């Protein structure tokens, strides 16, 4: 079985396809422009889009490389240091202000004093 499409139908389908692509690229005055002119604009836009995409990829790769180098330089420039962290769950009073007869701040204070003494001893 053969399907015959007339030249006029083929040209009409081509024109519709070109117009749809022109609408996709938001070309101005696409209704009044001939097919050849629209095709030139579409090719130019698609090439521009390809160049922009490649450039964006290169810029993103460059950003990643710079970020990695920055963090590596930052990590090597900074010395390791000790950090004191403590959480007091009971500070001797509850939320209403009543005495709980349990104060973890005293114990934390003792450990903080030891930590400070250790830093003073090792940094001299």
CA distances for 96 relative to 31, 42, 87, 103, angstroms: 77, 73, 20, 16
How do the domains of the chain map onto residue ranges?
7-66, 79-124
- Residues 46-77 pLDDT 10s: 777 777 888 888 899 999 999 999 998 888 88
95: Cβ–Cβ under 8 A, 6 or more apart, which residues? Answer: none
Note the pLDDT of residue 97: 86
- Structure token pair of residue 66: 């710079």
């Amino acid at each position: 079985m053969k399907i015959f499409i007339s030249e006029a139908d083929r040209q009409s389908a081509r024109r519709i396809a070109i117009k749809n692509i022109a609408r996709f690229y938001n070309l101005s005055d696409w209704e009044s422009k001939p097919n050849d002119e629209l095709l030139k604009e579409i090719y130019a836009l698609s090439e521009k889009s390809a160049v922009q995409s490649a450039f964006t990829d290169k810029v993103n790769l460059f950003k990643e490389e710079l970020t990695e180098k920055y963090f590596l330089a930052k990590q090597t420039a900074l010395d390791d240091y000790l950090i004191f962290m403590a959480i007091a769950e009971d500070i001797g009073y509850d939320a209403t202000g009543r005495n709980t007869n349990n104060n973890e701040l005293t114990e934390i204070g003792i450990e903080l004093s030891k930590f400070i003494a250790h830093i003073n001893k090792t940094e001299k």
